[in-house]
Amino acid sequence: MTTSDFAKRYGPWALIAGASAEIGAEFAQQLAELGINLVLVARCRERMEELARQLESTHGIQVMSIEADLSQPDFMSVLEPATRSVDIGLLINNAGFGTAGGFLAHDLEREVAMLHVNCRAPLILSHVYGKRLERRGKGGIIFASSVSAYVAMPFETNYAAYKIYELFLAEALRYELAAVGIDVMALCPGIADTEFHVISGNQAVGAMPVPPLVELALGQ
């Protein structure tokens, strides 16, 4: 697909949830190179605003940064009014985190927060913005799932279960929404070179670089 064709189908704006670092930031970089304006959503305003300045200066696109905590029940009260007049053609459900170690040793509140970020948030975002894509008659949704979705993962128990949810949601929506012009995919990498492993308390052995993953997702 040419840059022009991509922008016509998935532009003029893309919304990236979990946009402040690694995979989300790389999606932002590559989409900016394709001339797509961006809505960046994450908790870290400083990182987003620095990224926004760089992308606007380098690529001449528009970037909107929205600070939102997707673990909170009311996050759409911030996101919806800010994007009401923005013509979003591509949604990237990239927000997520994990924990490593014995399930019963984990803090329950953190596990529930992970449920909200990894499952509840992409469900809500896909429903709200999916309706807008349906009205447009074209667009796309990308879920950042994981190879962990294909096998039970002791000591990453809850994380792997969440990734199954994202994978199955993406696969079923791909079938449902194809008829209304919406492309849906799940990106299921193995170990990637991100800070995810620092946050989860795990080790990244043989991690793959992020840029080729994003290139694959965007069909570049």
If residue 48 lies in a helix (H) or strand (E), which one and from where to where? Answer: helix 45-59
The yes-or-no answer on residue 8 being catalytic is: no
DSSP classification of residue 214: H
Q: Which is it for the CA torsion 213, 216, 217, 220, positive or negative?
A: positive
Convert 135-167 to b/e letters by CB count within 10 Å (16 or more is b): eeeebbbbbbbbebbeeebeebbbbbbbbbbbb
Estimate the crossing angle of helix 121-136 against helix 76-83, to 10 degrees. 20
Is 163 marked active-site? yes
Distance from the Cα of residue 1 to its chain's centroid: 21
Tokens 């014995």 locate to: 102
Contacts of residue 122, Cβ cutoff 8 Å, sequence gap at least 6: 17, 93, 95, 143, 166, 169
Q: Which of 10, 129, 162, 163 is the catalytic position? A: 163
Q: Annotated catalytic residue: which of 129, 159, 162, 165? A: 159
Task: State the catalytic residues.
Answer: 159, 163
